[in-house]
DNA sequence: GTCTATAGTGCGATAGAC
DNA sequence: GTCTATCGCACTATAGAC
């Protein structure tokens, strides 16, 4: 197995399998490496820690989000620019990826350690989005508030999408959540 | 030292000192226990893990928040009830506690591990707030959205308060942040 | 690729309070 | 004497150093 290609992909696949089979806590890094035909040492060459094996790839999402925010019309108000970013994210959440997303979400929900990691990834996304808003001329604290609110909308939309893949898809869920937030803010 | 009173308080004080002196990562649990005149084993009797020594007491804040939300006038819309909760929280952030809060915040800012823990504590607060809203008859996803938005407002207000203790205090910062969020949501 | 430090746990012993 | 906080030790897994 030693020089088979895609060591990282094999490690990710092995990790997902084992986490589903025996649970996250009951799986050691050595177990994952063994199933992938590699050693523990190699695992840590690819992933900074055990949790990270489930989160690699989030930088791409952040980039897509930021690019869409940056390219939104200059006259678009902050939350409208955020909505463009969310819809760019939505492109990643297609029907084909639904199964993987749901399995991954179930694993994360089973472990506080993994929830912590998820939250800090979302916080990093929010920080990047806030920076993109500031680059558009939005001041503080408006930029941080708009970015965090958008991530909240994303979390709600994502958890609904995972629980029930409606035919209208992720985009509609995002729009509904954002509308609900606007309605809440409009109430006295 | 074995039977001196307030072992937990001594451990917390020792931890804060050492984290400020040498940094969080460079401090071992054995170091903290030694300075408090106790052993590593005793540390773990009081705190589930090393990070937790900086977060004990957050349950009280959650309770205060939830109580205020529950007691808000029945006709108050969701975000108004959340505002009541935030102001109840604000009672804990007085001028006397400012120094401690700032030191603690600086330590947390220095370590990703601690930031993760802070985020999950805030998420727990948001979940409790959402439950309090549902008990008031607010449906989903409105309850989750309103609760998360309120925690966002809290984070912004808190970070501004830590950076600069203005005479108007925490309450004014909360109100300003919430007003800004409402303004953002009102824009097309 | 091995070797080590540290976090965190289980269990039994012990010291002091009452 | 009992009760309980603390301790000592042995152990595993993560993570990083050499």
Provide, in whole angstroms, the distance separating residue B2's CA from nucleotide D2's C1'.
20
pLDDT of residue A166: 78
Q: Find all residues with CB under 8 Å of B18, minimum gap 6, and list them.
A: B27, B31, B32, B35
**Pair B110, B159 in one domain:** yes
Q: Cβ of B160: how many Cβ atoms within 10 Å?
A: 20
Test B145 with A185 for CB contact under 8 angstroms: no
**Whether the Cβ atoms of residue B62 and residue B81 lie closer than 8 Å to each other:** no
Chain B's closest residue to A120, CA to CA, is B116
User: A180 pLDDT band (50/70/90 cuts)?
Assistant: very high
**Pair B77, B137 in one domain:** yes
Note the pLDDT tens digit of each residue in B71-112: 999 999 999 999 999 999 999 999 899 999 999 999 999 999
Percent of chain A with pLDDT over 90: 90
pLDDT of residue A167: 65
**Pair A48, A62 in one domain:** no
Peptide bond into B175 cis (omega under 30): no
Whole-angstrom CA distances from B44 to A72, B52, B116, B125 are: 51, 10, 20, 24
- Minimum-distance CB partner of B119 among A119, A144, A182: A119
Q: Is B90 touching A (CB cutoff 8 A)?
A: no
Give the whole-angstrom CA distance, residue B12 versus residue B33: 10
pLDDT of residue A36: 95
**Pair A65, A129 in one domain:** yes
Structural tokens at position B115: 């930031």
pLDDT at B1 over 70: no
**Pair A89, A48 in one domain:** no
**Pair A30, A112 in one domain:** no
**Whether the Cβ atoms of residue B27 and residue B19 lie closer than 8 Å to each other:** yes
**Pair B123, B33 in one domain:** no
Test A186 with B184 for CB contact under 8 angstroms: no
The answer to pTM > 0.75 is yes
Its domain, for residue B29, covers: 7-53
**Whether the Cβ atoms of residue A155 and residue B152 lie closer than 8 Å to each other:** no
**Pair B89, B164 in one domain:** yes
pLDDT of residue A169: 87
When scoring B137, B176, B182, B184 by the number of chain A Cβ atoms within 10 A, the one with the most, hence best to mutate, is B184
**Pair B36, B83 in one domain:** no
**Whether the Cβ atoms of residue B21 and residue B15 lie closer than 8 Å to each other:** no
Instruction: Report chain B residues whose CB lies below 8 A from the CB of A177.
Output: 141, 145
Average pLDDT, chain B: 95
**Pair A21, A46 in one domain:** yes
Note the pLDDT tens digit of each residue in B149-174: 999 999 999 999 999 877 678 999 99
Average pLDDT, chain A: 94
pLDDT at A1 over 70: no
Kindly state whether residue A28 falls inside one of the protein's structural domains.
yes
């Amino acid at each position: 197995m030693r020089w088979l290609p895609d060591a990282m992909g094999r490690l990710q696949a092995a990790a997902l399998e084992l986490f589903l089979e025996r649970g996250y806590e009951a799986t050691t890094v050595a177990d994952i490496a063994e199933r992938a035909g590699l050693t523990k040492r190699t695992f840590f060459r690819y992933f900074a820690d055990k949790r990270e094996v489930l989160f690699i790839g989030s930088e791409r999402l952040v980039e897509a989000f930021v690019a869409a925010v940056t390219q939104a019309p200059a006259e678009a108000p902050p939350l409208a620019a955020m909505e463009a970013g969310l819809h760019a994210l939505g492109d990643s959440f297609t029907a084909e990826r639904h199964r993987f997303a749901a399995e991954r979400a179930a694993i994360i929900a089973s472990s506080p350690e993994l929830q912590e990691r998820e939250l800090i990834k979302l916080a990093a996304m929010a920080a990047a989005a806030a920076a993109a808003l500031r680059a558009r001329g939005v001041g503080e604290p408006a930029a941080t508030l708009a970015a965090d609110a958008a991530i909240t909308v994303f979390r709600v939309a994502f958890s609904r999408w995972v629980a029930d893949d409606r035919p209208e898809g992720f985009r509609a869920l995002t729009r509904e959540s954002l509308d609900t937030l606007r309605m809440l803010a409009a109430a006295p």
